[in-house]
C-alpha cells in the first residue's frame, strides 16, 4: 500500500498539483488512490467539520494524478532537447568561438582600464600630491596669531 501511494506521489510530481495544492492534500489523494477506505477514515478523524470541501479537493487531485501523471515520451524529450541546443546563445557556451572572442574582448577592456589607471597614478606620484594650486599659494594666507578666544571675555 505504501509503495503504491508513493508511486502516485511520484506521478503527481509530473503534474501541476504541487503548484496548486498543499503537500498534505497531495499525500491524502495519493493514499486514497492506494486504499480509499483507510484514507477516508483518516480524513474523518482529522477534519470532521469540513469533509465536503476536502472530498472535492481530494477528487480533483486524484483526477489530476490519473490523467496527467505519466512520464513524457523519451523521443519527444530528446527532440525538445535537440531544439533547445540550437537556441543556446553561443557566447555563453564555454569553448565556442563566440565565447572565446567575448572573453578576449573583456580581457582587453580590463587591461586597458588597468593601464589607464597605472598611467594616471604615475602622474600623481611624480608631482605634488596636493596639486599645483596649493603649493603655489603665498604663505601669508593663514594668520596664526588670530586668537578669537581672548575677545570673548
pLDDT of residue 142: 60
pLDDT (average), residues 124-132 = 60
pLDDT of residue 77: 87
All 3 cell numbers of residue 120? Answer: 594616471
Q: Is 131 left (phi over 0), alpha (psi -120 to 50) or beta?
A: left
110, 85, 107, 84: which is closest to 96 by C-alpha? 85
Say if residue 138's pLDDT is above 90: no
Residue 74: phi, psi to the nearest 5?
Answer: -60, -40
Task: Give residue limits of the domains in the chain.
Answer: 2-68, 90-126
Residues 6+ apart with CB under 8 A from 68: 14, 15, 16
Convert the pLDDT of each residue in 54-112 to its tens digit: 888 889 999 999 998 888 889 988 998 888 887 888 888 888 898 999 999 999 999 99
Say if residue 139's pLDDT is above 60: no
Cell 472530498 belongs to residue: 55
The model's pTM: 0.49
- Relative orientation angle of helices 51-68 and 2-12, to the nearest 10 degrees: 80
Convert the pLDDT of each residue in 112-121 to its tens digit: 988 888 777 6
pLDDT (average), residues 22-36 = 90
* Contact call for residues 6 and 35 (beta carbons, < 8 A): no
Amino acid at each position: 500500500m505504501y509503495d503504491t501511494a508513493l508511486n502516485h506521489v511520484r506521478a503527481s510530481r509530473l503534474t501541476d498539483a504541487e503548484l496548486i495544492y498543499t503537500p498534505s492534500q497531495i499525500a491524502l489523494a495519493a493514499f486514497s488512490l492506494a486504499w480509499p477506505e483507510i484514507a477516508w477514515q483518516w480524513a474523518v478523524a482529522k477534519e470532521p467539520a469540513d469533509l465536503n470541501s476536502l472530498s472535492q479537493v481530494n477528487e480533483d487531485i486524484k483526477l489530476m494524478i490519473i490523467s496527467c501523471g505519466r512520464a513524457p515520451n523519451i523521443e519527444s524529450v530528446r527532440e525538445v532537447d535537440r531544439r533547445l541546443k540550437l537556441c543556446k546563445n553561443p557566447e555563453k557556451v564555454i569553448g565556442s568561438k563566440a565565447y572565446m572572442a567575448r572573453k578576449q574582448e573583456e580581457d582587453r577592456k580590463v587591461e586597458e582600464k588597468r593601464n589607464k589607471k597605472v598611467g594616471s597614478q604615475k602622474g600623481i606620484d611624480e608631482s605634488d600630491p596636493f596639486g599645483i594650486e596649493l603649493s603655489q599659494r603665498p604663505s601669508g594666507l593663514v594668520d596664526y596669531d588670530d586668537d578669537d578666544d581672548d575677545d570673548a571675555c
